[in-house]
Structure 1
Amino acid sequence: MPDAEMTALLQAVLDEVCADIPAWDTTTRERIAARLRDVARSGRSSVDELKQAGRGALIRAPTMWP
């Protein structure tokens, strides 16, 4: 389980990356949060690495169209 400092960092990055996502779009926000957790667990926890991973998850978010 992440410590309080890491939790706060992950939340801040999530909020920044999701700033333009509508509040009702919880699926996208959850997808980005999961990616941030995965990156943090792998030991990459700098702000820049987390932001890059979060933005990457946003860009590559799946859609219902092929």
Structure 2
Amino acid sequence: MFDTATAALSRAILDEICESVSGHETGAKAHVASAILEAAAKGATSPDSLKSIGRRVLSETPSMWR
């Protein structure tokens, strides 16, 4: 699906975006991860665009997931 570099970039961005999210809040992390992977699959592979998408999605994540 993704090459090694894109997968590593996506993981690094997810970790950065969710660094303040508790490890118990898997719903929020999964939601952000899904959005980052979906964007990467559609061709958005620049770090800045993936970070922007991740931050936006995290800010819109329902509070029950955080």
Asked if Structure 1 and Structure 2 have the same fold, meaning a TM-score greater than 0.5 normalized by the shorter chain, the answer is: yes
Query: Higher relative contact order by CA 8 Å / sep ≥ 6: 1 or 2?
Result: 2
Q: TM-score, normalised by structure 1?
A: 0.92
The CA deviation at 1:62 is 2.0
Q: Unaligned 5+ residue runs, structure 2?
A: none
More helix by share: 2
The aligned residue for residue 10 of structure 1 is 10
Tell me the residue number matched to 1:47. 47
Paired residues, number = 64
- Whole-Å separation in 2 of the counterparts to 1:63 and 1:5: 32
Q: Structure 1 regions of 5+ residues with no counterpart? A: none
Percent of aligned positions that are identical: 34
Q: Which structure would you say has the larger Rg?
A: 1
Alignment of 1:15-54 (within 5 A): 15-54=15-54
Q: What do residues 3-59 of structure 1 show as CA deviations (whole Å, max 9, x unaligned)?
A: 111110000000000000001000000000000011101111100000000000100
Runs of 4+ in 1 over 6 A off after TM superposition: none
Output the CA distance in 2 between the equivalents of 1:19 and 1:42.
Answer: 25
Q: TM-score scaled by structure 2?
A: 0.92
- AA aligned to 2:61 is A
